[in-house]
Structure 1
Amino acid sequence: MRAIPFDVNDSELRETFFRRRLFEAILPLHAGTRPRWGRMTAQQMIEHLLWAFELSNGEAEVECSIPEPQRHSLKVFLYDNRPTPREFMNPVLTAGLPPLRHKGLAEATASLRVEADRFIQQASANPDATHTHPVFGPIAMEEWARSHFKHAYHHLLQFGLIGGE
């Protein structure tokens, strides 16, 4: 189990996390790895993270059903330096998890790496680009980076791949 510091406000830590630490942490993940909580399988978790990166890269789209006034107060979460609560339920997943899109965990993980790299490149080249987040609505790359960091950290904890909290 790896130790990865949690500091959503540290942009260098976030970039290192997306480039290297996330993928080092998921190396021991295998199809039979069971979560400490929740209902996702290992591959569902990787594909769920992949989908979030696809949203931020503009390769997938989602509507935000959260009313505008509520979104503003929810965005505070992106800036507070606390991990995503264990019991957080993504409103997009209330109907259940989507079907798997990849043949296996290795293929899904390879796709996640491609999208994470694409996110780093796009965030650097066009930091003001906005794409819709299912909870926060349209957000720019800085807020997407914060969201991805908290989101991925949460799922690494869920699968016991990092220590912390």
Structure 2
Amino acid sequence: MESIFDQQGNQNIIARIEKLTPSTPAKWGKMTVSQMLVHCQQPIKVCYGTLKLKSGIMAFLFGKMIKKKIGGPKPFKQDLPTVKEFVVANDPDFETSQKELIDLVKVFAEKGHDAIVNPKHPFFGEMTMDEWNELQWKHLDHHLRQFGV
């Protein structure tokens, strides 16, 4: 797995985002490409500390167990549930959403580990830099594969 912090790995993710068009169809799921671009911004904003989410009882009970299950080289499964704060109901502007996601992704390579302001994930709990890297990479990769790039 590539690293979101590594200059080359970061550029590889950005190149995939740049391949998307407003009419790129999803291979699975219900989101449009514009909704996906905004959806992918939300977990990045959580680790950057610009989106604050509260932990719930489900996080307390199951967060660490699920974190262990999703770790490792296997990509995320299709049609996994998402937290309500990451659901995008409107149809955002494609170009704006694409640029905003690219700008957020670039920060990982520009600032390195200093980009992570929030060491605690609202569902998974305390996260190491390697865990943040893996989670962000796999989430972006999952949705880019969803749209065939």
* TM-score under structure 1 length normalisation: 0.74
**Residue 60 (structure 1) aligned to one of 38, 51, 63:** 51
Query: Matched residue of 1:26: which SS?
Result: helix
Runs (5+) with no aligned partner, structure 2 = none
Runs (5+) with no aligned partner, structure 1 = 1-6
Going from structure 1 to structure 2, the CA distance change for 1:23 and 1:117 (only over 3 Å counts) comes to closer
**Residue 88 (structure 1) aligned to one of 77, 80, 103:** 80
**In proportion to residue count, which structure has more helix?**
2
Going from structure 1 to structure 2, the CA distance change for 1:132 and 1:47 (only over 3 Å counts) comes to farther
Are residues 1:108 and 2:97 paired? yes
Whether contact under 8 Å (2:107, 2:115) holds in the other structure is no
**In proportion to residue count, which structure has more strand?**
1
- Residue in 2 that maps onto 1:73: 65
**Residue 137 (structure 1) aligned to one of 125, 136, 139:** 125
Deviates more, 1:115-124 or 1:26-35: 115-124
Whether contact under 8 Å (2:5, 2:112) holds in the other structure is no
Q: Give, in whole Å, the separation in 1 of the partners of 2:77 and 2:36.
A: 16
Going from structure 1 to structure 2, the CA distance change for 1:159 and 1:134 (only over 3 Å counts) comes to farther
- Residue in 2 that maps onto 1:159: 147
Deviates more, 1:115-124 or 1:46-55: 115-124
Q: Give, in whole Å, the separation in 2 of the partners of 1:95 and 1:79.
A: 21
* TM-score under structure 2 length normalisation: 0.81
Q: Give, in whole Å, the separation in 2 of the partners of 1:132 and 1:105.
A: 31
- Residue in 2 that maps onto 1:41: 32
Deviates more, 1:42-51 or 1:132-141: 132-141
